[in-house]
Amino acid sequence: MNTKKITVILVDDHAVVRAGFRLLLATEDTIEVIAEAERGEQVLQLYADLKPDVIVMDLSMAGIGGLEATRRVVLREPTAKIIVFSVHHEKVYISRAMNAGAKGYICKHAHPDVLINAIKKVANGEIYIEPNLIDNIEEISDSTNYQVLVDSFSPREFDVFLLLAKGQTAHDISENLCLGYKTVANYGTNIRNKLNVNSSAELAHIALSLNLMPQV
């Protein structure tokens, strides 16, 4: 049975690094590297031409760099799925990458299987931050994990998130924000996927833990 492969663009300014990751991903029959880039400036055109499922993006590159490249891609293509793959493991880099619109963050020192797992999860619409990064950085609490994810929301996603957490239905939110029902439903799906929850009760718990709504 033929299964559609997850298409990937690798972005790193070191050809040897790209070659190594290409070889690694070639061992996974569900993933296909369809292009490479050595500078962030190249990514916009490659994305427009090839529409990959996932971009694997380094941060430290000449030119605009991976963070700005991520921001520009997501600004033009909000549905783009970008995994930052960096030597930097500090919390500030994770927060900035997620704020720029990345859907995943892993360290280059991670086990090779982590990259493959991250690509599969992000391609499936999930948020993926390497567990070891979360566990090892200043003992980040669950609420801080959620803060990083909520900080990555677009302004509209944040509005919808708060209203869903307050128990409003998609129809209610559609009227309140003057948005189409289908648009609100899509926002809701994206929000639940990012936070890995299924119910409004869980959204309410997260909003309360972040002090975004009054305790009643």
CATH number of the domain bearing residue 176 = 1.10.10.10
Containing structural domain, residue 170: 153-209
pLDDT of residue 141 exceeding 50, the answer is no
Residues 31 and 130 placed together within one structural domain of the fold: yes
Residue 25 has phi, psi (to 5 degrees) of -70, -25
Report pLDDT for 134: 62
pTM: 0.62
Alpha-carbon distance of 90 to 93, in angstroms, equals 6
Same-domain check for residues 28 and 61: yes
pLDDT in tens, 157-202: 888 999 998 888 999 999 988 889 999 999 999 999 888 888 777 8
Residue 76 and residue 17 share a domain = yes
pLDDT at position 30, please? Answer: 93
For residue 60, is it within any domain? yes
pLDDT, residue 2, reads 55
Tell me the pLDDT tens digit for each residue of 5-57: 999 999 998 999 899 999 999 999 999 999 999 988 899 899 999 999 999 99
**Selected residue with higher pLDDT from 47 and 152:** 47
Q: Are residues 21 and 65 in the same domain?
A: yes
Domains in the chain: how many in total?
Answer: 2
- Crossing angle for the helix pair 91-100 and 142-151, to the nearest 10 degrees: 40
Which domain-ending residue is among 143, 173, 195? 143
pLDDT band for position 216 (50/70/90)? very low
